[in-house]
Structure 1
Amino acid sequence: MCDQDIHPGLIEDWSVSRRRFVAAGVAVAGFVSACAKAAENVVEKDVTVKTADGQADAALFHPAGKGTWPAVLVWPDIMGLRPVFRDLGRRLAAQGYVVLVVNPFYRDKKAPVIDGAIDFSNPQTREILMGFRGKLTDDAVDRDAQAFLTFLDAQPQTNKKAKAGVQGYCMGGPLSFRTAAAVPARIRAVGSFHGGGLTTDQPSSPHLLIPKTNASYLVAIAKNDDARDPKSKDILKSAFAAAKKTATVEVYNGDHGWCVPGSAAYVEKEAERAWAELTKLYKAALV
């Protein structure tokens, strides 16, 4: 784990700050409306996934009714599985997917890994979360990714003939790249939203995994992340071109955390634009 995986943009959990953010004028109407509508047609349940390292808690979502649908794995940001990511899972499932939103820190604690409001600016909270992240080695991520896809494929609602997708936020961006390389026969689409540490000078840099994957990519970059490391997007574009992978790499008009309602950086217009691009990617690739 490197500091590039961790960003200060996400500082509060939507589930405990709804009225505060609405009162402050933060627009979340589109996300709330979409999630409320999705909940009417989605089956949700808490599940336990057996991994090589233990028992991982997660949330599983799929459309109501009979049928089978492509699988999607969701890696949350540094603050883990919590209500806003359950909302995201419902919304995605309502579009016709079997969705697994995982607790990446299950080795340490069941979700929610931080009780109550999550203030990433609090040094004690940050130390706890970064401690959890530090234990999540590349090898551990690869093992987990394989276990999570095996679990998804074991669900009767999953269309195993269709390819699968993976998406991640903040630290979930590099974890999604790793998933695509760990399960290349299944993953055909990758979405990274304000992902941290996608390009580093280390031999374990996520962008070096691109040739090992069989996926198309959507890489949505936060404008302040780009300002801090403007070369990263060009490194990614070059890596995708060299590997002959279809990829969209774009800087969005939002700071780190702009895709997650409840983040102080949330920008509804840009978040919805990114969601629309993800929808197009999945429709084209998960067949």
Structure 2
Amino acid sequence: MTAVQGTAVDIPTEDGVADAYLVHPADGEPRPAVLLYMDAFGLRPQLRSMADRLAGAGYTVLVPNLFYRHGRAPVFELPEFIDPGARPEIFERIGPVMQELTPDLAMRDAGAYLRALADSPAAAAGPVALTGYCLGARIALLTAGTYPDRVAASAGFHGGRLATDTPDSPHLVADSVTAELYFGHADQDPSLPVEQIERLEEALTAAGVRHTCEVYAGAHHGFTQADTASYDAAGDERHWTALLDLLKRTF
């Protein structure tokens, strides 16, 4: 694994300044860029560790604090091991903040994150890849459809509400997507029932999008996150294999 160098960075947006984590191979050579969209628990050591692993595989990785409008990370005080079942008040705090990050705001911010990577000497020229977790999977799909000329590939893991019947559902951007997409769904995930999995698959197929949708048997929402009660080691390693394979095909 390549040695990496990570640092805190600030990204100007139309609504303020988003704090973020940027990590890349320590040799300083420009590398293909990956924009990593956080889960609902936010920018924390677990996500920095995941970004470090990606950087060690040869990529420049940016992890923005999507909730920057509510303060710099950590926006929420979290235990080292997160078990929302034992601590329901965690989601009571996070839920309203998630709801305030509308698709319109998220896509305005996405433009700023993509500009930051385009301007970064650590990032190679050309389109980037995306990977998103939980709410980040939703935002990754929206970004791929909103900025098709900037996104070459996008992955989403244990994403919720990817194909709802609302007018701002992420699957409705399928016709605009030019990137290759990969989704790793958790089959024990109430936020993505079977009908939404089928609706997403149908939309991507109808739009001619290159895509793979896989259901991880026995996996719960959040299965990639080692600091939570939802973690599944086998599912996590499968996610890494799928993500790195997608990036190799892309770059």
Instruction: State whether residues 161 and 192 of structure 2, in contact with CA within 8 Å, keep that contact through their aligned partners in structure 1.
Output: no
- Counterpart secondary structure, 2:188: helix
Cα deviation, residue 230, structure 1: 1.2
- Counterpart secondary structure, 1:197: coil
Of 108, 111, 130 in structure 2, the residue corresponding to residue 146 of structure 1 is 111
Structure 2 residue 243 is the aligned partner of structure 1 residue 261 = no
Partner of 2:197: 233
More helix by share: 1
Partner of 2:154: 190
Cα deviation, residue 226, structure 1: 7.0
Partner of 1:56: 18
Partner of 1:82: 44
* Separation in structure 1 between the aligned mates of residue 98 and residue 30 of structure 2, nearest angstrom: 34
Cα deviation, residue 202, structure 1: 0.8
- The one-character-per-residue Cα deviations of 1:107-128 (angstroms, maximum 9, x if unpaired) are 0011111124155343432222
Partner of 2:54: 92
Partner of 2:247: 282
CA gap of 1:277–1:226, structure 2 versus 1, over 3 A, is farther
Structure 2: segments with no counterpart, 5+ residues: none
- The one-character-per-residue Cα deviations of 1:74-133 (angstroms, maximum 9, x if unpaired) are 111111100000000100011111100111100001111112415534343222211211
Of 23, 29, 33 in structure 2, the residue corresponding to residue 67 of structure 1 is 29
- RMSD of aligned alpha carbons: 1.6
TM-score (norm 1): 0.82
- Counterpart secondary structure, 1:173: helix
Of 92, 99, 102 in structure 2, the residue corresponding to residue 127 of structure 1 is 92
* Separation in structure 2 between the aligned mates of residue 111 and residue 66 of structure 1, nearest angstrom: 26
More strand by share: 2
* Separation in structure 2 between the aligned mates of residue 124 and residue 219 of structure 1, nearest angstrom: 29
Partner of 1:169: 133
* Separation in structure 2 between the aligned mates of residue 205 and residue 230 of structure 1, nearest angstrom: 16
Which has the bigger relative contact order, CA under 8 A and spacing at least 6?
Answer: 1
CA gap of 1:242–1:53, structure 2 versus 1, over 3 A, is same
- The one-character-per-residue Cα deviations of 1:138-176 (angstroms, maximum 9, x if unpaired) are 111011100001001111111113x21111111111111
* Separation in structure 1 between the aligned mates of residue 161 and residue 192 of structure 2, nearest angstrom: 12
Structure 2 residue 145 is the aligned partner of structure 1 residue 181 = yes
- Counterpart secondary structure, 2:141: helix
- Counterpart secondary structure, 1:223: strand
- Counterpart secondary structure, 2:220: coil
TM-score (norm 2): 0.94
Instruction: State whether residues 259 and 267 of structure 1, in contact with CA within 8 Å, keep that contact through their aligned partners in structure 2.
Output: yes
Structure 1: segments with no counterpart, 5+ residues: 1-36
Letter in 2 for 1:199: A
Letter in 2 for 1:153: A
Of 102, 106, 123 in structure 1, the residue corresponding to residue 64 of structure 2 is 102
- The one-character-per-residue Cα deviations of 1:32-80 (angstroms, maximum 9, x if unpaired) are xxxxx56xx0010000000001000000001111421111111111111
Cα deviation, residue 214, structure 1: 1.2
Instruction: State whether residues 226 and 251 of structure 1, in contact with CA within 8 Å, keep that contact through their aligned partners in structure 2.
Output: no
Instruction: State whether residues 226 and 232 of structure 1, in contact with CA within 8 Å, keep that contact through their aligned partners in structure 2.
Output: no
Letter in 2 for 1:246: R
* Separation in structure 1 between the aligned mates of residue 191 and residue 43 of structure 2, nearest angstrom: 29
* Separation in structure 1 between the aligned mates of residue 97 and residue 62 of structure 2, nearest angstrom: 20
* Separation in structure 2 between the aligned mates of residue 227 and residue 87 of structure 1, nearest angstrom: 26
- Counterpart secondary structure, 1:231: helix
Instruction: State whether residues 145 and 182 of structure 1, in contact with CA within 8 Å, keep that contact through their aligned partners in structure 2.
Output: no
CA gap of 1:59–1:188, structure 2 versus 1, over 3 A, is same
Matches within 5 A, 1:213-228: 213-225=177-189
